[in-house]
Structure 1
Amino acid sequence: MQTTTTTDIPAPTTAERVRTALIRADTTMLAVDGCDPISTTVHHLHDEGHVAIVVPSRSDAVDLAWRAGAAGLSAMLELTDHSPLRLRNPVRSLIWLSGTLRPVDEPRRLAAEIAEILPHPELLDVGHTTELLQLELTSVVAADTTGAESVELGAVLDAAPDPFAIYETAWLQHMEDDHADIVARIARRIPSTSRTGRIRPLGLDRYGLRLRIESGEGDHDVRIPFHEPVDDPTALSRALRMLIGCPFMNGLRSTH
């Protein structure tokens, strides 16, 4: 797959993309030395650089972690962010979090603390059918159509997830199903020589909209930036109206 990139186009930093993937990734796998990879349900990043992970209590990973004890064992958590639309290549990004996996002494207490921030129903099963493990991070790598990049852990801890991460799926599906005309109008900002295939909404964040162009020559992505970054639905609505050239694009302008 190819991608269209321009260095001066505003876009999330790699660290921001990692924080967003921790919220939005729909497929996660934990790879541990000594056993087959297993799927996980909850992954929460603490300020200290540890990721709390919920896994089935009868999994080999739990047994190996307790055997290793405080010394821990090498492990990697892979996060896959898929497009909510039926694209030819649905994978938008991959995140690899590597480090040392250890058991948690009081998993139910930690689960309760996490639930105050991330009220995931799977946390209720900790201590019953699931178990909490902690991955102390030593390496973070992110990959998308532009390539793979390592990012400093400190940058990841300082970054914030995109404010629209939990809404993006519904919005992209709505654009695809009900507003193909809007996608077509925004796509006019792409040079005509590049609009040689089917244009689909790929991603939306505070910096702009990403479009996927599917053609016989292959797929490539284009970022359409907003005039300025946005942080709330009102500003996002205004930014989208500006992209399509709506006559009421300023939204809050008084008519009196």
Structure 2
Amino acid sequence: MASPALTAAPTTAERIRSACARAGGAMLAVEGLEPATTPVHHLLDDGSFAITVPGHGALAAAVVSSGNAGIQAVLEMTDYSPLPLREPVRSLVWIQGVLRDVASSEVAGLLDLIATSEPNPALLQVNSGDNRDGETRYALLRLEIESVVVADSTGAESVAVGELLGARPDPFCAMESSWLQHMESAHRDMVDRLATRLPTSLQRGRVRPLGLDRYGVSLRVESENGDHDVRLPFGKPVDDVTGLSRAIRVLMGCPFLNGLRARGA
């Protein structure tokens, strides 16, 4: 029997879910209006996004005025590298759909639902009265998805809403930034050992850690000929910090695997 094929990278839906989880802020664009910041962008089980926008802004007013018809909008999320790379944007996600107001009777229940998995402080500023203390007050809106597209250095790809709902963020996406920063600042030897896995033509550039997930490590090579991204897949997907630490050492070619323990494990 043939062995199963190696899973070398997250699916498109998984990449989008991880980008959504990492994006601290996003922009919501409506034709004819200035884009609005959205500190909360939460995917709901019905396939729509719950979004917060400044409550006293033109966009919130336009949505309320549109009534049940809603207005076309695009939510853009940018996934930035935690390191100061020459090109810091790792991917862009565009979610297009119809934007509608959330009925006042539904706001409290929806906020509670979001807070159970995403306790964002901005939720406390939704429909909470006048902004006399100088804090921005937010309105809660719902974006009913029509299309989802992600673009990165490999190109652009769309994903169906059903696939998005069936996927989950990478288990390491919350700690990825600190891991990459630590590798860059304190363990350049690890990066140099991983770089030996690259094609010879790419080893002459400056190699930087670009990404980390349960399927492998990504490196960015910055050279005079441009930037090049390369994935180094693990032998199999990992689910915890101990497995991640071991998988990275396998990629490095560490000769003492049996005696290793992940720090802090």
Contact 2:208 2:221 in 1 (8 A): yes
Do residues 93 (structure 1) and 91 (structure 2) align? yes
Query: 2:219 aligns to what?
Result: 211
Matches of 1:52 and 1:234, distance apart in 2 = 35
Counterparts in 2 of 1:109-188, with a 5 A limit? 109-128=109-128, 129-188=137-196
Q: Secondary structure at the match of 1:77?
A: strand
- Residue 152 (structure 1) shift: 1.1
Deviation above 6 Å: which 4+ runs of structure 1? none
Matches of 1:104 and 1:26, distance apart in 2 = 22
Counterparts in 2 of 1:5-154, with a 5 A limit? 10-105=8-103, 106-128=106-128, 129-154=137-162
The residue identity in structure 2 corresponding to 1:123 is L
Contact 1:238 1:250 in 2 (8 A): no
Do residues 189 (structure 1) and 197 (structure 2) align? yes
Contact 2:79 2:90 in 1 (8 A): yes
Report the TM-score when normalising by structure 1: 0.92
Do residues 233 (structure 1) and 231 (structure 2) align? no
List runs of 5+ in structure 1 lacking aligned partners.
1-6
Matches of 1:26 and 1:87, distance apart in 2 = 19
Contact 1:27 1:81 in 2 (8 A): no
Partner residue of 2:207 out of 199, 214, 221: 199
- Residue 34 (structure 1) shift: 3.5
- Residue 186 (structure 1) shift: 0.9
Give CA-to-partner distance per residue, 1:58-99, whole Å, 9 cap, x none.
Answer: 111111111112211100100000001000000000000000
Matches of 2:151 and 2:6, distance apart in 1 = 20
Q: Secondary structure at the match of 1:109?
A: helix
The residue identity in structure 1 corresponding to 2:87 is N
Query: 1:3 aligns to what?
Result: none
Matches of 1:127 and 1:244, distance apart in 2 = 52
- Residue 227 (structure 1) shift: 1.0
Report the TM-score when normalising by structure 2: 0.89
Identity of aligned residues (%): 56
- Residue 185 (structure 1) shift: 0.5
